């Protein structure tokens, strides 16, 4: 079973797919994440400004570690999406999808005519030409997830219509931007934020679509809320977060030991 098949199987039975975020140039991190037990890696090109070779190498290294590779693209423009999907990711994450029209545009860019506008030029996506052409065309729409981010109050308002767009596979809440749009920046426990997040969860359940959360930091109360609500996709932290938290703990322990010496 390949990486995307494993993810789809877990989503279909409502199991949790757990991931982390990464945008480093070092391929070791991506490969190691699969060996550590993550289900997928969120390769972030919205904020990090990764180059195309960095993205391709990150996908290859992630898959090499036995992990699914999801790439967040910077926007909804074909010029930024097309080169990514030719590299054969297991998922593409579209930020700030606020309307059904925006969701339909994102799906269309990922879909060959006549149902979409994707140009034909797969590279790694067709195993560099080693995959049978007819087999590739027949299975390409299921070869990667199209994931829309709900991270604005407008998106919450329009979520029923977004979920009805054919080809939308899952919804991911971006709590930081969502809280900013609600005037509650970083206040995830605020009743307004809890209500917005609950609306996202309830609407996804009503449409039988997988849903989840992406949070760049470490907030276990927030994570607990989403897991208890049945989230199927959950990404937490970055290499910088883990390095920071572990380093703080190690430095503290070393200083405590130092204070005990004669």
Active site residues: 47
Distance separating alpha carbons of residues 41 and 235, to the nearest angstrom: 8
Length of the chain as a residue count: 262
24: left (phi over 0), alpha (psi -120 to 50) or beta: beta
- Residue 247: phi and psi, rounded to 5, are -65, -45
Residue written as tokens 């998106």?
155
Distance separating alpha carbons of residues 238 and 19, to the nearest angstrom: 10
Distance separating alpha carbons of residues 175 and 245, to the nearest angstrom: 21
Query: Which H or E run contains 193?
Result: helix 191-206
Residue written as tokens 């799906």?
107
Q: Show the CA angle centred on residue 44, arms to residues 55 and 242, nearest 5°.
A: 115
């Amino acid at each position: 079973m390949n990486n995307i098949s494993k993810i789809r199987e877990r989503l279909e039975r409502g199991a949790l797919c757990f991931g982390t975020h990464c945008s480093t140039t070092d391929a070791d991190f991506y490969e190691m994440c699969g060996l550590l037990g993550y289900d997928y890696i969120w390769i972030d090109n919205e904020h990090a400004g990764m180059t195309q070779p960095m993205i391709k190498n990150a996908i290859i290294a992630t898959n090499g570690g036995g992990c699914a590779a999801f790439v967040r693209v910077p926007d909804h423009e074909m010029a930024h999406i097309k080169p990514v999907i030719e590299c054969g990711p297991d998922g593409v994450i579209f930020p700030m999808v606020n309307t059904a029209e925006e969701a339909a545009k994102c799906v269309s860019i990922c879909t060959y005519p006549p149902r979409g506008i994707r140009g034909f030029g797969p590279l790694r996506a067709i195993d560099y030409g080693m995959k049978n052409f007819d087999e590739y065309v027949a299975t390409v729409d299921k070869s990667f997830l199209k994931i829309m981010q709900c991270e604005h109050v407008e998106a919450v308002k329009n979520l029923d219509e977004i979920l009805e767009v054919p080809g939308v596979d899952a919804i991911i809440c971006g709590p930081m931007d969502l809280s900013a749009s609600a005037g509650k920046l970083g206040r995830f426990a605020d009743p307004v934020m809890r209500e917005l997040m609950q609306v996202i969860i309830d609407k996804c359940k009503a449409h039988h679509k997988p849903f989840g959360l992406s949070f760049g930091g470490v907030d276990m109360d927030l994570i607990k809320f989403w897991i208890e609500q049945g989230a199927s996709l959950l990404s937490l932290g970055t290499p910088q977060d883990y390095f920071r938290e572990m380093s703080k703990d190690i430095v503290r322990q070393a200083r405590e030991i130092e204070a005990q010496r004669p």
